[in-house]
């Protein structure tokens, strides 16, 4: 395994304390959800007492995804132990883990008829293992009740929780996703509770435990990063043997959150995709509305086909 590339750009951090004044361009506007299937999905989630990142983080794609019965479950409660300046999930002291949650997620997957399910979580720094064993139990129960469904997880970084990655990897999710979110220079203000190399090492460690698991990571742009910094992150991710990269436009959830420095154009996203594919990612999704779980099922099929084509060379 290659060693992770070293960082540059130890520049002054971006300030997240101002309101975005620029008008949202037409290419990132979405319609309000109104379909009957959207409301049916909402009712299923409510009845099973499940949380979704779609609602908690205010995802702009919720109308489209829930109309197609695609929901991303958020486990371990709705309260995060961190306060990242880009995220709209509430922060505070979480409640105890619910031992019945793995069954409820498995049941929700079955009731929605999901062929590919995405499961994420809040950060749980209060737990000895960061919630790794709970993640594993959710994976195992979901697969038990839905043997034909592929499982993608989007995890926290499990900082200072040694051994978390092997616990989850041994439960064999089809895709292990952990987002770097931004370039290292902006971590101090955008991800103050995280460390760039900790996140890179987590992705690398999963591959070391089980090379057959697809690894995935994502970036937000529009926070003040430079093109050169984004390209460096791509190189770091490839050095960690990451297969799939997502890049999307950051949108400010509230005036208290980090502001949007600029709206990246669709042409720039297309250029980022071109660079990422040239660097060796098996799959790339780079559009203004790209999010970690947006079109995740379709993208997984493309990812699997890309690996088969690569191995067949």
Domain limits, the chain = 31-311
Q: What is the pLDDT of residues 57-101, one digit of tens each?
A: 555 555 556 555 567 888 999 899 999 998 888 899 999 999 999
pLDDT of 14: 46
Residue 225 has pLDDT above 60, yes or no: yes
pLDDT of 10: 38
pLDDT of 283: 96
Residue 226 has pLDDT above 80, yes or no: yes
pTM of the entire predicted model: 0.86
Around Cβ 133, how many Cβ atoms within 10 Å? 16
Out of 12-16, 31-35, 40-44, 269-273, least confident range: 12-16
pLDDT of 64: 58
Residue 276 has pLDDT above 90, yes or no: yes
pLDDT of 158: 95
Task: Say which residue, 155 or 47, is predicted with more confidence.
Answer: 155
2 contact partners, CB below 8 Å, separation of at least 6: 239, 241
Task: Say which residue, 143 or 49, is predicted with more confidence.
Answer: 143
pLDDT of 105: 94
Residue 103 has pLDDT above 90, yes or no: yes
CATH class of 31-311: alpha beta
What's the CA gap between 131 and 124, in Å, rounded?
6
Residue 8 has pLDDT above 60, yes or no: no
């Amino acid at each position: 395994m290659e060693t992770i590339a070293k960082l540059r750009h130890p520049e002054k951090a971006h300030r997240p304390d101002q309101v975005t004044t620029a008008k949202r361009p037409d290419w990132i506007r979405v319609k309000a959800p109104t379909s009957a299937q959207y409301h049916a999905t909402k009712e299923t989630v409510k009845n099973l007492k499940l949380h979704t990142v779609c609602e908690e983080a205010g995802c702009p794609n919720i109308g489209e995804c829930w109309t197609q019965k695609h929901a991303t479950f958020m486990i371990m409660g709705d309260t995060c132990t961190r306060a990242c300046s880009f995220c709209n999930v509430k922060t505070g002291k979480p409640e105890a883990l619910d031992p019945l949650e793995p069954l409820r997620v498995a049941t929700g997957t079955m009731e929605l008829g999901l062929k590919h399910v995405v499961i994420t979580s809040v950060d749980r720094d209060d737990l000895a293992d960061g919630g790794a064993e709970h993640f594993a139990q959710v994976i195992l129960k979901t697969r038990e009740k839905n043997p034909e469904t592929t499982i993608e997880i989007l995890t926290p970084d499990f900082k200072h929780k040694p051994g978390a990655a092997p616990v989850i990897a041994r439960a064999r999710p089809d895709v292990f996703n952990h987002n770097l979110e931004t370039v290292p220079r902006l971590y101090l203000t955008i991800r103050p509770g995280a460390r760039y190399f900790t996140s890179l090492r987590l992705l690398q460690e999963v591959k070391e435990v089980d090379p057959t698991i697809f690894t995935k990571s994502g970036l937000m742009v529009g926070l003040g990063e430079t093109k050169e910094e984004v390209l460096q992150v791509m190189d770091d991710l490839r050095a960690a043997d990451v297969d799939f990269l997502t890049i999307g436009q950051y949108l400010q959830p509230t005036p208290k959150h980090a502001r949007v420095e600029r709206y990246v154009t669709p042409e720039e996203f297309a250029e980022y995709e071109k660079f990422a594919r040239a660097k060796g990612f098996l799959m790339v999704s780079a559009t203004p509305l790209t999010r970690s779980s947006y079109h995740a099922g379709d993208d997984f099929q493309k990812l699997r086909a890309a690996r088969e084509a690569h191995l067949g060379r």
